[in-house]
Amino acid sequence: MVRTAPLTSLERAMPRVHVHVLYPHSERFDWTYYVEQHMPMAGAKMDLVEWWVAKGLDDVAPAAYQAIATLVFDSLEKWTSSFAAFGPDLLTDIPNYTDAVPTIQVTEISGSGKKA
């Protein structure tokens, strides 16, 4: 279904930019380090609203990614300034938990829904 209605006031008040860091499968991924060290470091350094990490499950079909981190920012400007300032430190930390090369996808929230 394609949304044609304008955003609601609640949607306009929501954080608008989600940055997804997608890690393909690799031989090495230290989940403990990633969740307890790397992501809290990102959260402390960057000007973000919140973050979460999802683990790919292979139960039904092979997962395209073994991990997907989502970082939520109030604006694209906050993402770009945070990444410019702290991205090099965070990228340098990647070998501490994986040999995978992540893909970064920046998205803007364009709608939402909830079951009544």
Tell whether 48 is covered by a domain. yes
Banded model confidence at residue 25, pLDDT cuts 50, 70, 90: very high
**Total of domains in the chain:** 1
84 in helix, strand or coil? Answer: helix
Which residue has 């997962």 as its token pair?
63
Banded model confidence at residue 110, pLDDT cuts 50, 70, 90: confident
Phi, psi (rounded to 5 degrees) for 109: -70, 125
pLDDT in tens, 9-21: 655 566 589 999 9
> What tokens were used for 38?
């790397």
State the pTM of this model.
Answer: 0.82
* Domain containing residue 79: 24-102
Q: Mean pLDDT across the chain, nearest whole number?
A: 88
Tell whether 1 is covered by a domain. no
Tell whether 15 is covered by a domain. no
pLDDT in tens, 40-76: 999 999 999 999 999 999 888 888 999 999 999 999 9
Phi, psi (rounded to 5 degrees) for 11: -65, -40
Tell whether 51 is covered by a domain. yes
Distance CA 115, CA 44 (A): 33
Task: Give the domain CATH number at 67.
Answer: 3.30.70.100
